[in-house]
């Protein structure tokens, strides 16, 4: 029978949870892993983080300031006398199952450096550190992006994409840890298990690097930048709106037919301008090769003689 003293139980109760500051994370395993500093002189590596189904985030690493351990190391005051990592960081809560300090699980993480504040009751947002977000307001839902400077000071143009795609399921490899193996192992067996786990982890990381969450191929897409809206089928542009020029251009997917609409005119073209029509404030014009007709306030005109014939156009 397992007997626990009151002292042991009180110790477990006191230490069953800890607030931590994040050094970095690893998103390659099937369950995300955290590297963080908890209590004073306590650092933790590869602690699994439980997230809500349907939602996944990659927290930012610590902003390093001053001397201390490198991001992702054990933190705390180690045998070499290094101090805990310093600098602003994301913060979280870690539970120790059964009060056992050898079984930590991260259950929540937030980042006061970037969290959008002032949301009204019932509203929520998915956000990043540069101001992009999916925002659910009481009156509307918005997907937001913006142009801003990168770390080198260069302005980066970003866009919002609403797309229907084709993609394959992401491959998942059973990346285990030697410490999770059941039963005694020789030192050589342990090292072999460790090498196997490291190899699988490297293969999973390589697979994740090349996987396209945004889709292998795009069926249809609406893309918005600061000054332009684009409509696409696959890689083909089938329509644009230029905000600065107040100009619409629409194309059929074969690229033969185009319609242009701006503040002064409407133009339709098939192939080149030899088969076209135009409507503007001064006249209406139809052209087919060398044959052209136009109407303005002075009357009706034609480049060739008009022949009266039945209209066979469907």
pLDDT surpasses 50 at 44: yes
Cα 158–chain centre separation: 12
Instruction: Say if CB 241 and CB 228 are below 8 A apart.
Output: yes
Within this chain, do residues 6 and 104 fall inside the same structural domain, yes or no? Answer: yes
Number of domains the chain is built from: 2
Contact indicator for 62, 24 with CB cutoff of 8 Å: yes
Kindly calculate the radius of gyration of the chain based on its CA atoms and give it in whole angstroms: 32
* pLDDT value at 9 more than 80: no
In a domain, 144, yes or no: no
Please state the φ and ψ torsions of residue 269, each to the nearest 5 degrees. Answer: -135, 140
Structural domain containing residue 183: 178-210
Given 191, 210, 229, which residue is the final one in a domain?
210
pLDDT at 103 over 60: yes
Q: Report the sign of the C-alpha dihedral through residues 205, 207, 209, 211, in that order.
A: negative
Is there a domain that residue 9 lies in?
A: yes
CA distance 260 to 251: 9
Check residue 175 and give its pLDDT. Answer: 55
The percentage of residues in the chain with a pLDDT greater than 70, rounded to a whole number, is 88
State the Cα–Cα distance between residues 140 and 145, nearest whole angstrom.
Answer: 16
6 and 102 belong to one structural domain: yes
* Claim to verify: residue 5 and residue 108 sit in the same structural domain: yes
Do residues 182 and 95 both lie within one domain? no
Do 1 and 106 lie in one domain? The reply is yes
Q: pLDDT, tens digit, for every residue of 228-238? A: 999 999 989 99
195 and 96 co-located in one domain = no
Q: Compute φ and ψ for 237, nearest 5 degrees.
A: -85, 125
Among 69, 94, 115, the domain-final residue is 115
> Is residue 75 in some structural domain?
yes
Confidence check: pLDDT of 178 > 50? no
* pLDDT tens sequence across 120-133: 999 999 999 999 99
Give domain status of residue 20, yes or no: yes
* Distance (Å, whole) CA 196 – CA 189: 10
| 52-56, 72-76, 210-214, 260-264: the lowest-pLDDT one | 72-76
Please tell me the predicted confidence (pLDDT) of residue 49: 96
Distances (CA, A) of 133 to 59, 94, 144: 15, 26, 5
User: Is residue 129 assigned to a domain?
Assistant: no
Lowest mean pLDDT among 61-65, 100-104, 176-180, 271-275: 176-180
pLDDT digits (tens, 9 = 90+) for 81-93: 345 677 899 999 9
Higher pLDDT, 129 or 13: 129
> Does any domain span residue 69?
yes
pTM recorded for the entire structure: 0.77
Q: Where are the alpha helices (DSSP H) in the chain?
A: 6-14, 187-210
Quick check: 217 and 230 in contact, CB under 8 A? no
| Residue 93 domain flag | yes
Give the position of tokens 């993480």.
109
Among residues 95, 115, 135, the one where a domain terminates is: 115
| Phi and psi at residue 12, to the nearest 5° | -65, -40
Average pLDDT over residues 242-254: 91
41 within a domain of the structure (yes/no): yes
């Amino acid at each position: 029978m397992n007997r626990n003293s009151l002292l042991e139980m009180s110790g477990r109760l006191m230490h069953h949870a800890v607030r931590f500051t994040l050094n970095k994370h690893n998103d390659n395993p099937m369950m995300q892993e955290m590297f963080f500093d908890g209590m004073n002189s306590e650092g933790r590596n590869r602690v699994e983080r439980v997230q809500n189904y349907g939602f996944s985030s990659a927290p930012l690493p610590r902003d390093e300031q001053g001397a201390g351990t490198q991001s992702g190391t054990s933190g705390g005051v180690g045998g070499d006398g290094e101090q805990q990592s310093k600098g602003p960081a994301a913060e979280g809560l870690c539970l120790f199952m059964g009060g056992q300090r050898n079984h930590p699980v991260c259950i929540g993480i937030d980042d006061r450096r970037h969290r959008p504040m002032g949301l009204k009751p019932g509203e929520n947002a998915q956000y990043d550190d540069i101001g992009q977000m999916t925002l659910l307001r009481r009156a509307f839902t918005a997907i937001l992006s913006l142009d801003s400077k990168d770390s080198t000071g260069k302005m980066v143009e970003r866009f919002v994409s609403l797309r229907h795609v084709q993609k394959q399921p992401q491959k998942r490899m059973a990346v285990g840890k030697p410490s999770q193996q059941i039963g005694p192992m020789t030192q050589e067996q342990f090292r072999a298990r460790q090498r196997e786990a490291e190899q699988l982890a490297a293969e999973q990381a390589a697979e994740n690097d090349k996987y396209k969450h945004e889709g292998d191929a795009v069926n249809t897409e609406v893309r918005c930048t600061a000054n332009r809206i684009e409509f696409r089928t696959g890689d083909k542009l089938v329509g644009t709106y230029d905000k600065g020029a107040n100009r619409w251009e629409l194309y059929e997917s074969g690229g033969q037919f185009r319609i242009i609409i701006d503040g002064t005119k409407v133009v339709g073209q098939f192939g080149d301008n030899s088969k076209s029509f135009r409507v503007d404030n001064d006249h209406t014009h139809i052209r087919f090769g060398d044959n052209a007709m136009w109407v303005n306030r002075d009357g009706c005109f034609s480049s060739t003689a008009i022949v009266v014939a039945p209209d066979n156009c469907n």
